Structure 1
Amino acid sequence: MLTVAMPKGRIFEEAVELLRKADYTLPPEFAESRKLVIEVPEENMRFILAKPMDVVTYVEHGVADLGIAGKDVMMEEERDVYELLDLKISKCHLAVAGLPGVRMNQIAPRVATKYPNIASSYFREQGEQVEIIRLNGSIELAPLIGLADRIVDIVSTGRTLKENGLVEFEKIADVTSRLIVNPVSYRMKDEAIDRLVERLSAVIPQ
Structure 2
Amino acid sequence: MALKLGKNDVYRSEIQAAEKATGIDGSAIAALIDAEAAKIGSGSNRGQWDEDSYNKDSKAGGMTQFLESTWEGHAKNPAHLLNTRGKAAGLITAANKVTAGKMADFLKLRFDPLLSIVSAAEYGVDNLKALDKAGVLPAKLTDDQRARYMYLAHHEGAAGAIGFLNGTKTYTRAKLVGQVGAAADTYITKAGGKTSAAYRLWLNEYMDKKIVPSNFRS
Both proteins in one fold, TM over 0.5:
no
Which structure carries more helix by proportion?
Answer: 2
Larger radius of gyration: 1
TM-score scaled by structure 2?
0.25
TM-score normalised over the length of structure 1: 0.26
Determine which structure has the larger strand proportion and give its number.
1
